[in-house]
Structure 1
Amino acid sequence: MSPSLIDCKYESRTPGGGVRTAPSQLDSFDWCAIEQSLDDSGNAVLPRLLSVRQCKELSALYPRDEGYRSRIVMARHGFGRGEYKYFAYPLPPLLDQLRHALYWRLAPIANRWNRQLGVGVSYPDELDAFLERCREAGQVRPTPLILQYGPGDYNCLHQDLYGEHVFPLQVAILLSEPGKDFTGGEFVMTESTARNQRADVVALRQGDAVVFTVNQRPAAGKRGGMRKAAMRHGVSRLRSGKRHTVGLIFHDAR
């Protein structure tokens, strides 16, 4: 086990000791193993975070006009092929609850990573406090989104940065069923350091979520100490069908 893993204790409580209202699925995960996976490879899978019913209900939101602040056609911007929509505030209740509950569990990891990388930024315990920091810097536009891919569509390798304040982890949830709703369309991550490059294909089932690095993560150097590993993510070309995904980004955009 990596010596970088610290104080791995996760409880469903607020910092003041009260009971936290969070999706019950989150309590069933091995958060020590999730933290270790993030340390080792920059990503970790949360199996069956959403039920099939919840996935279908979220996918059904995509054709609607209401509830979104903008629609992006990827080919127009050189992002790949496919399209996505940014949700407007207020977010759908399920996504708002997940965003808050996941942030609370990921903030200690994000703070430790910054310390290991020598980054003088710390994140508050609660999402609302971090979003207030974003608003003060002019980052006021919500970033959670839903993506839609069809045959031949793909997403170029990229990083979701959006402004000065960036939370170093984000979450994607696969809403469609591989092999039934679509083929191809794998979630891909790459890692680059001064000496090495690596690519991972992260296998997901319907309802699975992947927590992954937005920009940089600390990685153990060959001679001891920590080095910066630059991460990017994307989606491989869809061969058939239709694929929907929800993305939960914790910092808002300018």
Structure 2
Amino acid sequence: MDALATNIEARVNAIDWHAVEEELDGFGCATVGHLLTPAECDALRALYARDALYRSRVVMARHGFGRGEYKYYAYPLPEVIGALRESVYPRLVGIANRWNEIMRIDTRYPPDHADFIDRCHAAGQLRPTPLILQYAQGDYNCLHQDLYGEHVFPLQLAILLSAPGRDFTGGEFVITEQRPRMQSRAEVVPLAQGDAVIFAVHNRPVNGTRGAYRVNLRHGVSRLRSGHRHTAGIIFHDAT
């Protein structure tokens, strides 16, 4: 393991994962401060123009996804993105398996990310899903879920690469939760540059008076008021 990957792994290991698990159980999302340094954030932003690093570019307005654009990284992933994917997954897999057990979903995830990717690839999910998103004034991301195929890891994370107040205003990360026979609940998640939010991709369990039930979650980004905003997204399953 090289120095950067070792450094990232040490940061990930230093996170209070018990607190993260409590937040995920209670709200479907949890924040992690200072996951990346400002220099690492700026370096990833600077790579946005290098098209050779990406497998595809999506202009949101063409598909009704909102306004703005994003690019999916190609393999091999940038070192910092790959290191985060490999080191965060083992910290989330226990939560994912516990949630599936509570929700009576038969799928269980292997402890190592490489083994899960092998499972995705065996099912024809071959395309990498980590991405970088770019927003300008007036852009936004509609509420959505990042599913992509049969094999879906139920948690993902997004890292804010820009500095609120300096690089942009507005553009808050938003997650909504729809419980059966109830109105949707919205959570606005404040982030600083280098902070990450870990959140449920699709469903999570909630305890009710008659036992546990599933709630449905979607996430998005509110309208940017000024400037430019970049975010890195780490999705643990690959796409068909």
TM range (shorter): over 0.9
Q: How far 1:237 moved relative to its partner?
A: 0.3
Please, what TM-score do these two structures have when normalized by structure 2?
0.96
Is residue 70 of structure 1 aligned with residue 56 of structure 2? yes
Correspondences of 1:113-128 after superposition (within 5 Å): 113-128=99-114
Corresponding residue of 1:134: 120
Please, what TM-score do these two structures have when normalized by structure 1?
0.91
Is residue 199 of structure 1 aligned with residue 194 of structure 2? no
Q: Secondary structure at the match of 1:246?
A: strand
Alpha-carbon separation, structure 2, partners of 1:249 and 1:65:
20
Q: 1:156 aligns with which of 135, 142, 153?
A: 142
Q: How far 1:143 moved relative to its partner?
A: 0.2
Q: Deviation string for 1:212-251 (max 9, x for gaps)? A: 0000000111x14111010000000000000000000000
Corresponding residue of 2:195: 208
Q: Tell me how many residue pairs correspond in the alignment.
A: 234
Q: 1:81 aligns with which of 64, 67, 70?
A: 67
Corresponding residue of 1:100: 86
Alpha-carbon separation, structure 2, partners of 1:195 and 1:32:
31
Corresponding residue of 1:13: none
Moved more, 139-148 or 59-68: 59-68
Corresponding residue of 1:171: 157
Q: Secondary structure at the match of 1:33?
A: helix
Corresponding residue of 1:146: 132
Q: 1:47 aligns with which of 3, 23, 33?
A: 33
Which amino acid in structure 2 is aligned with residue 187 of structure 1? F
Alpha-carbon separation, structure 1, partners of 2:60 and 2:118:
30
Q: Secondary structure at the match of 1:36?
A: helix
Alpha-carbon separation, structure 2, partners of 1:122 and 1:227:
18
Corresponding residue of 1:251: 237
Query: Could you list the runs of 5+ residues in structure 2 that have no partner in the other structure?
Result: none
Query: Could you list the runs of 5+ residues in structure 1 that have no partner in the other structure?
Result: 1-19
Q: 2:18 aligns with which of 28, 32, 43?
A: 32
Aligned CA RMSD, in angstroms, stands at: 1.0
Alpha-carbon separation, structure 1, partners of 2:34 and 2:197:
10
Q: Secondary structure at the match of 2:105?
A: coil
Q: Secondary structure at the match of 1:97?
A: helix
Q: Secondary structure at the match of 1:173?
A: strand
Alpha-carbon separation, structure 2, partners of 1:143 and 1:172:
12
Alpha-carbon separation, structure 1, partners of 2:15 and 2:131:
24
Corresponding residue of 1:91: 77
Same amino acid, percent of matched pairs: 60
Corresponding residue of 2:223: 237
Alpha-carbon separation, structure 1, partners of 2:62 and 2:95:
36
Which amino acid in structure 2 is aligned with residue 227 of structure 1? Y
Alpha-carbon separation, structure 2, partners of 1:58 and 1:82:
18
Which amino acid in structure 2 is aligned with residue 146 of structure 1? I
Corresponding residue of 1:185: 171
Alpha-carbon separation, structure 1, partners of 2:195 and 2:107:
30
Which amino acid in structure 1 is aligned with residue 73 of structure 2? F
Alpha-carbon separation, structure 1, partners of 2:214 and 2:239:
24
Correspondences of 1:218-237 after superposition (within 5 Å): 218-221=205-208, 223-237=209-223
Alpha-carbon separation, structure 1, partners of 2:181 and 2:143:
20
Q: 1:61 aligns with which of 44, 47, 51?
A: 47
Alpha-carbon separation, structure 2, partners of 1:28 and 1:195:
40
Alpha-carbon separation, structure 2, partners of 1:214 and 1:253:
14
- Greater share of helix residues, 1 or 2? 2
Which amino acid in structure 2 is aligned with residue 90 of structure 1? P
Q: Deviation string for 1:146-197 (max 9, x for gaps)? A: 0000000000000000000000000000000001100000000000011322
